[in-house]
Amino acid sequence: MTVARFRSVVLDCPDPGALARFYAGVVGGTPVREDPDWVVLQVPGGPRLAFQRAEGYAPPRWPRADRDSQQFHLDFDAGSTWEEIDAAHDRVLSLGARPLDLEDREKKDFQVYADPAGHPFCLCRIEHS
Check residue 65 and give its pLDDT.
63
In the chain, where the domains are located: 1-54, 61-129
pTM, whole model, 2 decimals? Answer: 0.83
Contact 68, 61 (CB under 8 A): yes
Cα angle, residue 24 at apex, residues 17 and 88 outer, rounded to 5°:
130
Check residue 117 and give its pLDDT.
94
Check residue 70 and give its pLDDT.
53
Check residue 72 and give its pLDDT.
74
Tell me which fold the domain 61-129 belongs to.
2,3-Dihydroxybiphenyl 1,2-Dioxygenase; domain 1 (3.10.180)
pLDDT beneath 50: ranges in the chain: none
pLDDT per residue over 29-42, tens digit each?
999 998 999 999 99
Strands across the sheet containing 98-101 = 74-79, 120-125, 110-114, 98-101
Q: CATH for 1-54?
A: 3.30.720.120
Check residue 86 and give its pLDDT.
92
Round to whole Å and give the CA distance between 98 and 74.
15
